[in-house]
Homo-oligomer: A and B are copies of this chain.
Amino acid sequence: MKNSFGQSVSLSVFGESHGSCVGALLSGMAPGIGVDEEYIKARLALRRGIDGISTARREEDAFEIKSGVFEGKTTGTPICITVPNGDTRSRDYAKTRFLARPSHADYTAFAKYHGYEDYRGGGHFSGRITAGVVAAGAIAQSALEGIGVLIGTHVKRCAGVDDAPFCDFPAEIKALEGSAFGVIDGARGEAMKDAILKAAAEGDSVGGVLETAIYGLPAGIGEPWFDSLESVLAHALFSIPAVKGVEFGAGFALADMRGSEANDAFFAEDGAVRTRTNNSGGINGGISNGMPLVVRCAVRPTPSIYKEQQTVDISTGENARLLINGRHDPAIVHRARVVADSLAAVAVCDMIAQRFGTDALKG
């Protein structure tokens, strides 16, 4: 079935954690977009996370652009990027092959693939797959920047600690590109890291909330029904393995507001129509209204913890106990923010290409 997202611009992913590589196929990007390999590298480095917190697996992330780029620019034909795997310790997994890790995909993969799945390191369900997504997303983000659309995600909340809110979109989005942990307020980021390390010391893991801003999107993009901007972005963001909630603008808080509080009053400014508040997150009736698009993702805590857990041996159907080995992150929310940027960028590229044609991304 579908392993791809998007219509005019589309993204497919492939690969397994302990196979030869992971990768992505990005199609429909306009020809002539500059591809900056240093930028891709920098994005992959952000995705790897930060020392002391992120997984001990030292991934090289030496990506290879296999097609669709010529003389430093997109050709307009499909862009295949692979990220070779290295430093895999497959034996860590063989022992517990049939002990389904709670809240991991082991059991559901077994139900779907009947035991033929590559179980090593989570196989195709590994967060490793996101390396290809981030590499492809970097090209999408470059294209968007060329036409004045900026995308940035911060760790809005982690382990019970809140980051500062977005106040000045373009500047903060730019600053986030350089932030290893992905917060607007560095001090809060330090508090988050302390809380993560505390959980890690207890063999546990934490979750958080990501907040993505899409700045510079013109009004009039999206569809009234099944390709509402919310539908399309949520479709993309819910592909991130740990995301269990997506909300736009004031999101779930709208449920407790009255209409008079929730409504975003329009006003005219400098020839543009703007809103006083942005509870709608830049979207009315599924279509962009020209205000910054704001979307948040709930990221569950990493299911890999170092405490004994109850489970089932799926080869026998017997109850069992499991103690996970291997190298695992006590938090992935700061890594996932790079993936959120990437998928949002691909989704927005697609919506712009659908709306304005396949050359629109060339800038």
Question: Which of B1, B108, B246 meets A28, CB within 8 Å?
Answer: B1
Question: Which of B25, B231, B249 meets A25, CB within 8 Å?
Answer: B25
Question: How many copies of the shown chain assemble into the complex?
Answer: 4
Q: Which residue of B lies closest to A76 (CB)?
A: B113
Q: Would A14 and B75 count as touching, CB distance under 8 A? A: no
Interface stretch, picked from A123-131, A166-174, A178-186, is A123-131
Question: Which of B2, B221, B254, B285 meets A298, CB within 8 Å?
Answer: B254
Check A21/B66 contact, CB under 8 A, given A77-B16, A287-B108.
yes
- Chain B nearest Cβ from A211, distance in angstroms: 11
> When A and B form their complex, which 5 residue pairs have the shortest distance between CB atoms, in order from nearest?
A105-B285, A245-B247, A111-B220, A205-B259, A31-B116
Q: Would A262 and B70 count as touching, CB distance under 8 A? A: no
A sample of 12 inter-chain contacts (CB < 8 A) reads: A3-B227, A14-B25, A16-B67, A19-B70, A23-B66, A23-B67, A31-B112, A31-B113, A70-B118, A76-B116, A76-B117, A259-B303
A 93-128 binary contact with B (CB < 8 Å = 1; else 0): 000000010111101110111101110000111000
Check A12/B27 contact, CB under 8 A, given A1-B354, A76-B113, A111-B287.
yes
Q: Would A262 and B300 count as touching, CB distance under 8 A? A: yes
Check A125/B79 contact, CB under 8 A, given A1-B27, A103-B262, A307-B260.
no
Beyond A23-B66, A103-B259, list 13 extra A-B contacts (CB 8 Å): A2-B223, A5-B225, A100-B266, A102-B265, A107-B266, A108-B220, A111-B288, A112-B220, A234-B238, A241-B285, A244-B254, A255-B298, A259-B302
How many A residues touch the partner, as a band? 35 or more
A157 on the B face (CB < 8 A):
yes
